[in-house]
Amino acid sequence: MALLPIITAPDPRLKKVCAPVEAVDDKIRRLMDDMLETMYAAPGIGLAAPQVGALKRVIVIDLSDDEEEKAPLFMANPELVAVSDDDASYEEGCLSLPDYYGAVDRPATIRVRFLDRENEIRELDADGLLATCIQHEMDHLEGILFVDHLTALKRNIILRKLLKAKKSNTPLASYATL
């Protein structure tokens, strides 16, 4: 397995619509495993393929904490087959927008259909943080970042600060307060 560099915004690769995978073969499994290792190292609870420069519809998620056994989820071509009418709001973060957080409203419960690591079709019902995280990662596959759910003012403040940090190569933490 390999650690992959995580792309930070602004970057045109984070705004692309990703292509479906034909099947979960050894190449896609390798991508999934590398993404999982990269996500654990970050650390994060989810990662989408475009965040490591692979414009494919692949996501990995693990909500287990340090004391628990690891519980990775591997999803290719995820699609929402049901969403609740009621929304839940969660303070989201993103490894591609380091040190920034924002409250996003999304359907509170979902059913997602996907190909798993063995190329089997699965369906999963999710609520709480898992539902939020799946939807956040699926957004990445459409070129959507959580800041796209905020007001244009908040989004532009965050993106301008990230661009400034990138240009001057300044550590991000010193730009993180809005």
Phi-psi region of 148 (alpha: psi -120 to 50; beta: other; left: phi over 0): alpha
Q: Going by C-beta distance under 8 Å and a sequence separation of 6 or more, which residues neighbour residue 27? A: none
- Which region among 22-30, 80-88, 116-124, 129-137 touches ligand K1U (by CB under 6 A)? 129-137
Q: Which residues are catalytic?
A: 137
CB of 117 to ligand K1U, least distance (A): 19
Which of 24, 52, 94, 126 binds Zn ion (CB under 5 A)? It is 94
Binding mask 53-92 vs ligand K1U (x if CB under 6 A, - otherwise)? Answer: -------------------------------------x-x
Q: How far apart are CA 133 and CA 153, in angstroms?
A: 24
Neighbours of 75 (CB within 10 A): 26
Among 31, 62, 96, 161, binds ligand K1U (CB under 6 A): 96
Q: Which is nearer to ligand K1U, 51 or 77 (CB)?
A: 51
User: Is 147 near ligand K1U (CB under 6 A)?
Assistant: no
Which does residue 135 bind out of Zn ion, ligand K1U, none, counting CB within 5 to 8 angstroms by kind? none
Q: How far is CA 172 from CA 8, 69, 100, 140, in A?
A: 11, 32, 10, 21
What's the token pair of residue 31? 């991508």
Q: Answer for the pair 61, 45: CB distance below 8 angstroms, yes or no.
A: yes
Q: Which residues of this chain interact with ligand K1U, rule CB under 6 A?
A: 43-48, 51, 90, 92-96, 132-133, 136-137
Q: Which residues of this chain interact with Zn ion, rule CB under 5 A?
A: 94
